[in-house]
């Protein structure tokens, strides 16, 4: 009978630690936010590497999250929906670009505030955008330009 009590206590401790771990993982992954805040959109020619849940950063600080991606079937541009904190008042001439964390890292949306006195409101769109840069395209251009320089000599 003593073994049953010890096994029950050990099982309860394991369940408690598992619950604490799941709560920590849930909060760390920002799954509970559901994109609360100010919802904005931006259009890009290419949105390579950007995913729902990617960070939205300003000056290197996370200020929001990408909440949706869709394709405009008329212009074939990527429409990225994102939310930023309610406490950030973004000028309407701000710019957005898709940047990468490192050579192997994921992409994030980088916001550069403008200088306008008019502020973006709920559902607003950032019109000044810069699409993602493909690493493979850059390597191809470097190889092509160096080989064409050698041929011209």
Check residue 32 and give its pLDDT: 45
Whether 110 contacts 129, CB under 8 Å: no
On the question of pLDDT at 28 being above 70, the answer is: no
Check residue 131 and give its pLDDT: 83
- Cα–chain-centroid distance for residue 138? 22
pLDDT digits (tens, 9 = 90+) for 44-89: 998 888 899 899 999 989 999 999 999 999 999 999 999 999 899 9
On the question of pLDDT at 30 being above 60, the answer is: no
Q: pTM of the predicted model, to two decimals?
A: 0.68
Q: How many CB atoms lie within 10 A of CB 121?
A: 12
Instruction: Tell me the chain's radius of gyration from C-alpha atoms.
Output: 23
Check residue 77 and give its pLDDT: 93
Between CA 134 and CA 11 the distance in angstroms is: 50
């Amino acid at each position: 009978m003593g073994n049953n009590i010890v096994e029950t206590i050990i099982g309860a401790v394991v369940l408690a630690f598992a619950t604490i771990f799941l709560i920590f993982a849930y909060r760390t992954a920002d799954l509970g936010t559901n994109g609360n805040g100010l919802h904005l959109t931006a259009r890009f020619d290419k949105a390579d590497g950007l995913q729902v849940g990617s960070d939205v950063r300003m000056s290197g600080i996370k200020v929001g999250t990408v909440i949706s991606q869709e394709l405009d079937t008329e212009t074939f541009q990527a429409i990225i929906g994102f939310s930023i904190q309610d406490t950030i008042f973004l000028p309407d001439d701000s710019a957005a670009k898709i940047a990468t964390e490192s050579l192997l890292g994921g992409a994030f949306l980088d916001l550069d505030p403008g200088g306008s006195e008019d502020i973006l409101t709920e559902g607003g769109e950032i019109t000044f955008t810069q699409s993602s840069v493909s690493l493979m395209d850059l390597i191809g251009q470097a190889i092509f330009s160096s080989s064409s320089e050698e041929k011209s000599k």
